[in-house]
């Protein structure tokens, strides 16, 4: 006797399409994927307690060597040069990771918007709008919220409830 609660098997074509697209991208853009992996791994490592501890130990060791080197210009130049180079390189790696994370987040939100029938599809890709367009959209939604607040207050007053301040 068949189980009535089970749904008929429907092939997952979207999942298959995603896997095919992923393989195609990996074949075409191996340098970019390598850089993304390195950037992600570096961002995770740089944000770890171990990396912070190593940085603190390095600064303490550098400061402790100050008297040995007579607090010379060379002694100061070592920490200045080292931190400048590390900061310069890490900024690019972290920025790459943040850009990728933001892009993935936007794609996920776009998918949620597409899947909800009552959602405004015009909200998809709003990150590509100019600042002026974003300000206009914000003002429009603030107006909608104000109108909702007014209707809500009117309903509360009509039903004898005390409106919220």
How far apart are alpha carbons 64 and 66 in whole angstroms?
5
Provide the pLDDT for residue 87.
93
Asked if residue 118 and residue 51 are part of one domain, the reply reads yes
Asked if residue 137 and residue 63 are part of one domain, the reply reads no
Number of structural domains found in the chain: 2
Asked if residue 140 and residue 119 are part of one domain, the reply reads no
Tell me if 67 is assigned to some domain: yes
Burial 114-131 (b: 16+ CB within 10 A, else e): eeeeeeeeeebeeeeeee
Provide the pLDDT for residue 13.
59
Tell me if 165 is assigned to some domain: yes
Which sign, positive or negative, has the C-alpha torsion 136, 142, 144, 150?
negative
Asked if residue 140 and residue 113 are part of one domain, the reply reads no
Asked if residue 118 and residue 75 are part of one domain, the reply reads yes
Tell me if 40 is assigned to some domain: yes
Query: Contact 94/43 with Cβ under 8 angstroms?
Result: yes
Q: Alpha-carbon dihedral of residues 72, 73, 75, 76, nearest 10 degrees?
A: 130
Query: Contact 163/153 with Cβ under 8 angstroms?
Result: yes
Provide the pLDDT for residue 117.
77
Region class of 72: left (phi > 0), else alpha (psi between -120 and 50), else beta? beta
Tell me if 8 is assigned to some domain: no
165 residues of the chain, pLDDT tens digit each: 444 444 444 455 567 777 777 777 666 678 887 888 888 898 899 989 999 999 999 999 999 999 999 999 999 999 999 999 999 999 998 898 898 888 888 888 888 888 887 777 777 778 888 888 888 888 988 898 899 889 888 888 888 777 665
How far apart are alpha carbons 61 and 129 in whole angstroms?
49
How far apart are alpha carbons 99 and 150 in whole angstroms?
39
Provide the pLDDT for residue 123.
79
Containing structural domain, residue 119? 28-128
Task: For the chain, list the strands marked E by DSSP.
Answer: none
Tell me if 1 is assigned to some domain: no
43 CB neighbour count, 10 Å cutoff: 19
Provide the pLDDT for residue 10.
45
Tell me if 93 is assigned to some domain: yes
């Amino acid at each position: 006797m068949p189980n009535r609660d089970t749904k008929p098997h429907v092939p997952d074509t979207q999942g298959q399409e995603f896997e095919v697209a992923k393989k195609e991208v990996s074949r075409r853009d191996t340098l970019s994927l390598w850089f993304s992996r390195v950037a992600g791994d570096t961002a995770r490592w740089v944000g770890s307690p171990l990396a912070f501890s190593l940085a603190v130990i390095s600064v303490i060791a550098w400061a402790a060597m100050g008297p040995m080197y007579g607090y010379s210009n060379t002694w100061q130049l070592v920490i200045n040069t080292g931190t400048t180079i590390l900061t310069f390189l890490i900024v690019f790696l972290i920025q790459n990771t943040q850009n990728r994370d933001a892009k993935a987040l936007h794609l996920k939100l776009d998918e949620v918007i597409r899947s909800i029938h009552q959602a405004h599809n015009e909200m998809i890709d709003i990150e590509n709008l100019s600042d002026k367009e974003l300000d206009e959209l914000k003002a429009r939604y603030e107006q909608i919220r104000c109108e909702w607040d007014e209707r809500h207050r009117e309903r509360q007053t009509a039903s004898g409830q005390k409106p919220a301040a």
